[in-house]
Structure 1
């Protein structure tokens, strides 16, 4: 991944209607000029809110990176309505619906350009809408932030155990800060996810920019989980307290007191080799073993053909399951998380 510090300044027509240095509360938009057939000189307007009070850390919080992940936008909208300047020390920047076109469509990808915003970082200020959104985040928001919280869930295709996510970092000091902040979130599970080394995500770009970074996976299946909402509401405030933006909370579990998991590379995933209807054999949270039957694909259009059985390639717990029954070759059916093998605190 290109270091975003090497590409600034990049000329852009996007701009924000809020003053990031002004004290108090503001709500406005990130304007990205957009000229579709129906609006020659229009703009895509991404909602943004700022609460600032004196000197202190700046925390950037985003939801709606994927439009079918609903818990983040709900929690961050609530947070802005509740926070008053006198409640905080520092600055909180909130973008509850970062990928607004996708949020409106309730799709993982943008209906405007077909891109997955979370595979476009560090973006392109002269590119498509998704690329311009990620470019604005990298060029204008990461440089003024100290920490980043990105709220995700499994979306419409996966149901994932509610968890806080550690983004790996080559710099051990930054990894230490990431782990401490993720543990402060105090989710039921803490999971290290490298996305098989993918560097085009918001959290990978945040780590590249040197920010303390916290991610989440809050259930999914395209629904709104009451459990996940409760965890995320509490967790966001926990991290803000940990960073010194909100008053401090009681000390929480350390890494030595909590099991930390990871998705152990390619063996953590069970992919569909053929098209059909997938039947999982286990519920999320089940302890599974390498070689055990994991599920099977039914070929409903060919009743003479027996189902194709799939197996786990890793010991661990079942962390996520595909939600739609229909699968195509390459669809992720199951995800297994195993004990983290890296260095902890």
Structure 2
């Protein structure tokens, strides 16, 4: 194999410097109206004393807001003297998508969370993910990746376990995810896709915490509160913040997983009517909803059914669907335990 491509871009934050820094990772972007422009990805660091290096990411998808809000507040408000170690914040990592309020980048139409480990010589999105994978992960001990359902899904606020094979790393992930103290803990493998940020962080040996904080293209008051508490809780658990900054536990850890057949998928073009709200218990074979054909009123709706037992974990937010759209997601009790 040939030598690894050199990282493109310029970082204005010195990762070895103590104190608080707020800067950018600048990626070259040459477009029609700006020959020598850059994409200015926000980057911040708070470093003080000895302790772990924790990477905190928001805005991997540009229409998911609770994480970026919580991280921006922490960048502005956190006293560096309270930190033990190094906190690296990338609160709007997929900046083009964040500015456009889109899941995918308007520059190359890529979903950043399906581009890892990235490519330093690829498109803008691939270069951003390569920076995270090649520059940040090697200096990190833990990674928090804050997501929500975005514009297309409304999800029960939850912390997410990234599946790993190593039992020691698995135990660390479970402990950190449990410390987040969300109403639910869900094991999600993204249909086995290895190209996500959390999967890449896990391969790099980091302790990994994911989240899904509501969604629907809005800012959830409850989810923002959960996210604020959860980030501080995890940092205290990791020893990067004092234990006194952790909040008292509010939730019993309820452990679920998304089984392979837990997604209810549209097979027709129309408008989906769900039959259940998030959190309701459902059974395999039970009607899940139906697709209506508004332009053809003589055609009867098509009914969709659940394939597994569990609870409704996520529901599609836009009513309009086409074949292949995910309409509902069922979470089932995890087959193992938290140990």
1:284 and 2:278 equivalent?
Answer: yes
Match of 2:147 in 1: 152
Residues 181-227 of structure 1, C-alpha deviations (whole Å, 9 max, x = no match): 00000000000001111100000000010000000000000000000
**Structure 2 unaligned residues grouped into runs of 5+:** none
Q: Map 1:125-204 to 2 at 5 A.
A: 125-204=120-199
Does the CA contact (< 8 Å) of 2:213 and 2:227 recur in 1?
yes
Match of 1:114 in 2: 109
The alignment of Structure 1 onto Structure 2 pairs a total of residues equal to: 338
**Distance in 2 between the 1:288 and 1:7 partners?**
52
Match of 2:269 in 1: 275
1:23 and 2:18 equivalent?
Answer: yes
Residues 70-114 of structure 1, C-alpha deviations (whole Å, 9 max, x = no match): 111111100111112101100000111000000000000000000
Matching residue within 230, 233, 240 for 1:238: 233
Does the CA contact (< 8 Å) of 2:271 and 2:294 recur in 1?
yes
Q: Structure 2-normalised TM-score? A: 0.97
1:318 and 2:312 equivalent?
Answer: yes
Matching residue within 43, 46, 55 for 2:50: 55
Relative distance call for 1:7 and 1:70 in structure 2 (3 A) is farther
Matching residue within 308, 327, 332 for 2:321: 327
**Distance in 2 between the 1:245 and 1:208 partners?**
22
Q: Structure 1-normalised TM-score? A: 0.95
Q: Which of structure 1's runs of 4+ aligned residues deviate more than 6 A?
A: 250-253
Matching residue within 204, 207, 210 for 1:209: 204
Residues 115-162 of structure 1, C-alpha deviations (whole Å, 9 max, x = no match): 000000000000000000000001100000100001000000000000
Structure 1 residue 7: Cα displacement: 8.9
Match of 1:3 in 2: none
Structure 1 residue 252: Cα displacement: 7.1
**Structure 1 unaligned residues grouped into runs of 5+:** 1-5
Matching residue within 46, 51, 54 for 2:41: 46
**Distance in 1 between the 2:207 and 2:300 partners?**
50
Relative distance call for 1:204 and 1:7 in structure 2 (3 A) is farther
Structure 1 residue 12: Cα displacement: 2.0
Matching residue within 214, 239, 249 for 1:219: 214
**Distance in 1 between the 2:320 and 2:247 partners?**
45
**Distance in 2 between the 1:11 and 1:26 partners?**
25
Does the CA contact (< 8 Å) of 1:68 and 1:222 recur in 2?
yes
Q: Map 1:61-80 to 2 at 5 A.
A: 61-80=56-75
Does the CA contact (< 8 Å) of 2:229 and 2:247 recur in 1?
no
